[in-house]
Each structure stands twice: as C-alpha cells, then as structure tokens.
Structure 1
Amino acid sequence: MPAIAQSLLDNLMGGRRAVTQEELETNSRQAMDAIGGDDPIVSIDTEYNLQRVAEYYERLTSIGGWPDVPESIFRLGLGSDRRPVRDLRSYLMHTGDLSQEAGMSDRFDAQLDAAVRGFQARHGLQINGQVDEYTYWAMKVPTSTRLNQIRVNMERVRGMAGQLSDRYVNVNIPAAAIEAVDTARVARRHTAVVGRIDRQTPILRSRIHQINFNPYWTVPVSIIRRDIIKLVNENPNYLDEYSIRILDGRGNQVSQSAIDWSTEEAVNYTFRQDPGARNSMGNVKINFHNMHAVYLHDTPEQGLFSENARFHSSGCVRVSDVAEFVSWILRDTGYDIIDVNTAFASGERLDVNVSNPVPIFMTYFTAWANRSGVVSFRDDVYEFDAQGRTEFPEIRA
C-alpha cells in the first residue's frame, strides 16, 4: 500500500517527488565507492586498466568526442527544470557517468544528481551534486585532452616497472593525495596539501626512516628570503606571535632588532619555531632522505584539506588524518594509534626511528583507472603533460 500511495502521489505531482537527504548521501557514497576500493593509483595492473579505458576514449574521439557543454549548465543542481539540463544529461552519458537508460529530460532528478557526484569524485572535486565553477571547467576539457592524459600516464606507469615493493607510500602530486600500499592493495588513503606551482613538490624516491613527534621547525633559507622578511616588515611582532627564535651560527639566540630587515641579512641566521599549537609542522614531521630537504608533516591549518585545489605549500607535503598514517608507518616499531595520539598529546619532543624504513615515491599521475574501468583525472598543475614529460629518472635512482 505505501508503494501504491507513493506512485499516486508522484502522478499527482507530475512525476516529481522530494529527494531525501539520505538519497543524496547515498549518491555521494556510491560516487566515492566507484573510485575507491583497494586498487592503487599505480600498480602492475594500472597500465592494463588504462589501456581498456583508452580504447573507449579513442572511439569517442574518432566520432568527435563528447558534446561541448554550454555556459547555461553552470549552477544547475537538484530541482533545476529547464532546457540546459538536457545538455548536461547528454554530456554525462558520453562520459559514462549517466546511464543511457536515464533518457533525456529537462529535470535534474536524483539520478542526474548521482551522475554529477560521480563525475566530481572522478575529478577529485568536492562532491555536492551541483555544477559549480570547478565542475563546470572540468566538463569543458575536450575528449582529446583526456585521451592524451591517458596515453601519457600509461608511459609513466611503464617507467615505474620494477620499482614498487610490497609496502610503499605514493604521494601523487596532481591529486594532492597519499596512498599507503600493502601487498599491492591500498591500506590507507590520505588527502594532502602539496607544493604550489612556483614552489613545486619534487619528484623523488626515498625511504621514510624517522618520525619526529612535536618537532621544532627550522625555517628553510628560501622561506626566510621569500616570506619571513616580508612578514616581519609587515608585522614586527610576527616572530613572537609564532614562537620563532633567531639563532646565530653557535646556536645563541639573537635579538630581532639586531638584524637589518631592509636587506636580506636575515638569511645568515637560523630561524627555529618552537613546538606548539601554531608550529607549521603540527604534531609530527615524517622524514626521508632527499636532496630537496622536503618531508611530510602535520599542519595546524586543517581547513586546507577540504579545498578543491590543494597546492599551497613550499614543496613539503601536509598529511590529513596524520595520526593514522604515522601509526601505519610505525606498525613494526611498536607503535599503534593510541601510542601515536599519546605522543601528540604529551607535547614532548621525541624522535622515533622506523625499524623497517618504508619506501616513498612522489609521483605525477594525472589519469589512472581501477579494475572496474572507472577512470580518474586531475589537472596538469605543473604542466608536465603539456611538456610530454613521461620519464622521471628521480624515481629510478
């Protein structure tokens, strides 16, 4: 009887019914499940998965690709009922996010909401079901560009052949995301913040060998030159507010007034930030040897992890849910999540060597696919795709 009553109500409303919050949450969850699973971004299966996707994109490109979406789809969302919805439906049918059986209609219904969320998940965007600015511009990318991304990234996957071990960490820079991989399956995923375009996170290969709990932060000379001098000139209390001390070559503290801030004299000194709530490293620093002096770390600016474009750092990588990540790194060193959180809460400086150093890769993949044939794309933030760059000797070192 309830089903019959609902059917009658739908007919009276012209087929329109209210979409519940539970349905929208289900749509988001299914969108994440489609790109999730335990397939790593790069594995021995990635090339095969991308090849399958490439065949579809080649056929699609040969017939002119998906239709160019008009500006009128911008800001469409659940409840919209106008002609541009048809353009959106047609586009998402071509990308595979909307079933052909969904049909053409002016209505933005729950099924179309699910398709938009699926598209957003595949492109690493905030999943809200609305054609917002980021979603609109991702939809404007031509089929040929996406096909080129697939081909370029297939070459990059081949370049990593034989480099992967049973257990490793992959920081994928364009995705601003981290995968902790165990026996060819993703054990943990973490959102990241990586280097901005003018201060890029480097491509590299190394091993995570040490964890610093409640660390000091020694400010790199490049940041003293580019940022600190300017910030002190704008706010003379900046160093005190952020508990940053100035030290000379012998480790003696130097007064701020002893430095001529109209010059670059400050780069001759060491700037060290004390542990604490405002420390740029947050609760922990994750070390691995590299010539670029970069590392992974926590951050007090947790709001950055919810942004679409997470390219804010000076080259180092900030890690979300960092306690879980550190406990995974230290699992063979006698630490679990309780031990890690206890170390954080203590506020005490503590360095822990990783008993089995974990391989870490910083890679550049703008397209990958899982075994279900779901392909994900990211923007070519450092323009390596545009340069046709597929070889990264830094990873083979």
Structure 2
Amino acid sequence: MKTSRRRFLVNAGALAATTLSGSAMAQDVIHDLLNAPRRGNWNDQFDARASEGGKVESTMPIFSPQTVVYIEQAISQYANIVAQGGWPTVPMVNKLKLGMSDPAVAELRKRLMISGDLSRTAGVSNSFDTYVDAAVKRFQARHGLPADGVLGKYSYAAMNVSADVRLGQLETNLVRLRSMSGFLGDRYVMVNIPAAQIEAVEGDRVVLRHTAIVGKIDRQTPILNSKINEVIVNPYWNAPESIVRKDIIPLMRKDPQYLTKNSIRILGPDGKEIDPTTIDWNTEDAAKFRFRQDPGEINAMASVKINFPNPHAVYMHDTPQQSLFSKLMRFDSSGCVRVQNVRDLVTWLIRDTPGWDRQTFEQTIKTGESTPVQIANPVPVYFTYVSAWSTGDGVVHFRDDIYGRDGVDELKISAAL
C-alpha cells in the first residue's frame, strides 16, 4: 500500500514526539516537517539553511532613516567581530570555485561564517560545495562584484580587507548617511559614486535602480545637490575645454579626419563654423573655440541629456558605448554620469510634464531633432559618496573607495590591483 507524503511526515512527527520531552517540542517537529518548502528532498532544505543570511537586494533607499539604524547595528556587529580577533586571511588560490577541494576552502568557510554569509551549520571542510558557492555569491553581491561564485582577484582583495578597517569604513559612512537622513523630497534621484549606481526614490522606496558610469580618478564626479529641471532629447554635445585639450587635440594630431568622422563642428565666437584645416593642431589654439557634436547615434550623449543647475557643468546622459556598463570598475567618464536604461529614468522624470509620456519621448528620439523638455515638477538630485551602508539586518554593503575619501589605502582596492 502506498504511503502519502503527508501521512509519512505526520508519522515521522509522531515518532519524533515519542523521543522528545514535552508535547510542545513534538508539535514543533511536526510543524517544521509539514511546512518545509517542497524542494524535492530534505537535503535541499538543509542547503537553504546552511547558506542563509537574507536577501542582499532591497527597495530601501540608501538615504533612508532606517538605513542609519541598520548601519548602527552593523557597527555594533563589526565591533564585536574585531573584539574577537576579526576573520582569517583567505589564501589566494587561482579561481577557487564550486567543485574544488583545497585547504584554503576551510579558511574561506570560516571567513564567510564570521561575516554572516555562511551559516555555521555548513561546517568547516576543504570542500567548495553548494553552501560555499551560495555564500560566496552573497558576499560578492554585497561588495558590488559579479555574483558568479568564482573567487578572482577582486573578490580575494575585498574578502581580505581586515575587520577593523571595515569597521572604520562603516563609521566614516555613518556620518555621511546621518547628514542625508532628513526629508529629501517626495521623489528624488541619488547617484552613489563609489557604487557607480543610481537610485530613483519615491515614497521612501527605490522604484528604479540604474547602473552608472562615473568619473575617472583624475576627472572625478563631484558631490552636489540640485534639481533636475530639463531633459534634452537628441542633444548636441559641447566638449568641455578639458576634453578639447586632453583628448580632441591629441586625436586630431593622429587623425586629421577625427572631427569629421565624429560629426564634431568647430564654432567661433560669432557662432560660425570654422574649417579644421585652418587650425594649427601642433599648438593648443583650438582650445579657445567651441566644439559641438551633432545629434545622432554616435553623439557622446546618444539619445538624451538630463540637466540640473550646478557649478561643475556636469549632467547625466545616455551613451553610445553601452558595453561599458558591463565593466566591473565603471569609472570612465570625465565627471558626468552615464545612465544605463536611461529612457526608463527619463520616463519617470517627465511623467508629470503635460504632453510627455514614454511614447512621445520615443517618437521624438526618432526625429533626430534636438528637443528640450522642461520638467514640470523639478526632481531633487543628489550626487553622493557612500562606500558602506546597510539596508537590512545583517546585510552590509561595501564598495571600493575609488577616490580615496575614506582615508585608508587598503580600501582603494582597484588602485592596488
């Protein structure tokens, strides 16, 4: 006679009840068994518990009063880790990954247990099993690394930053977060430079999250507060003087057709176009002129430019170089911020502007004509520098201190590799 799964579980619970003291304990066993997720077998359920730790992704904004509470809890947690001696250094073994067995994995397990990425029920062994794989992916996600479960040089470097340095990083960023924990607007845009990420926030909830490209170390994206007041569809691009000197003039020396190939025109003080062949490119005389690129697919801002008043002459924009968004270190701009899936953000920004919606926006792009759109209700925008934060109990995020503003060389990971 066949035994149903439910009857089996009930019988198992009853059997457990005879060996446990007290009916309450028996009921707990039955409850656990009956309500366990039906994952195919009980080993899967153990696997879930062994690599538990909570979700890394969250709709909680970095600039949230609750984030301040969570980072304070994280500071207490990390202070306790430091007091107990921190965590072990994980030996670098080339591309340590699922299925491998190595003595370094035992140290890896201990490291992940201490930081809360791996449950202590997983045990310590030399086996890089599914528990360790899930824990490594969680660690990578918390540190802004590709969550592929493979330990490369960036994962090792992030993992081997000492606990006391991480504690100091949390304390430094707590000050930054406290200064921005008040009311920032019913909806706003936040650009987090070290994370190279953008949050569109509404009702204290992240409604859009965008990957970004921010400024190089020698051309840094500035810290600023402003309001987005304009979107330009099919914008002209006016090259800043710094780019003319550092980039365009050297490129023209190598290739006299560079400007023509890239639809860039030289305009004099009177607005009239100047023939590039009349300029001596062995000097820097060209820097006194205006360089303007026509709208189009190869335009440096591609389909759209997002404007907001600021003394740094920076803005947010689309880009024809979409492949850059897949880079691990996305610090490639000259200070402005490139936005992945920027059309989603623009649609959100212009939604209250009469006569504009996603369909109108897309149709305007197709015309190729430069079209400014004034935002009916300007949206606050904050360019900030937050390299450590927490959006949940036990979920602590760290990023590379790309501009060295945290004051500890050990946190400038990309510079050291």
Instruction: Provide the TM-score with structure 1 as the length reference.
Output: 0.87
Cα distance in 2 between the residues matched to 1:363 and 1:145: 21
Amino acid aligned to 2:186 = D
Amino acid aligned to 1:192 = A
Count, aligned residues:
363
Cα distance in 1 between the residues matched to 2:183 and 2:312: 21
Unaligned runs of 5+ in 2: 3-43, 410-417
Amino acid aligned to 2:240 = P
Amino acid aligned to 1:69 = V
What SS does the aligned partner of 2:65 have?
Answer: coil
Q: Which structure: larger Rg?
A: 2
Identity of aligned residues (%): 48
Unaligned runs of 5+ in 1: 2-22, 389-397
Q: Map residues 1-397 of structure 1 onto 2, 5 A cutoff.
A: 34-72=55-93, 74-162=94-182, 164-334=184-354, 335-386=356-407
Moved over 6 A (4+): 30-33
Deviation, structure 1 residue 31: 10
Deviation, structure 1 residue 321: 0.6
Cα distance in 1 between the residues matched to 2:183 and 2:268: 43
Cα distance in 2 between the residues matched to 1:189 and 1:340: 20
Mean Cα displacement is larger for which, 233-242 or 315-324? 233-242
State the Cα deviation string for residues 130-180 of structure 1 (Å, max 9, x = none).
001211111121111110111011111122243512211100000000000
What SS does the aligned partner of 1:211 have?
Answer: strand
1:42–1:368 CA contact under 8 A, matched in 2: no
State the Cα deviation string for residues 257-288 of structure 1 (Å, max 9, x = none).
11111111011111000111111001000000
Deviation, structure 1 residue 32: 12
RMSD: 2.2
Change (3 A) 1:387 1:86: closer
Cα distance in 2 between the residues matched to 1:240 and 1:80: 54
Change (3 A) 1:31 1:164: farther
Deviation, structure 1 residue 356: 0.2
Cα distance in 2 between the residues matched to 1:339 and 1:31: 46
Cα distance in 1 between the residues matched to 2:315 and 2:83: 44
State the Cα deviation string for residues 296-336 of structure 1 (Å, max 9, x = none).
00001111111111000000000001110100111111433
Amino acid aligned to 1:67 = P
Mean Cα displacement is larger for which, 227-236 or 278-287? 227-236
State the Cα deviation string for residues 46-73 of structure 1 (Å, max 9, x = none).
211101111110010112111111123x
Cα distance in 2 between the residues matched to 1:31 and 1:209: 44
State the Cα deviation string for residues 185-236 of structure 1 (Å, max 9, x = none).
1111000000011000000000000000011100001110111111111221
Deviation, structure 1 residue 83: 1.9
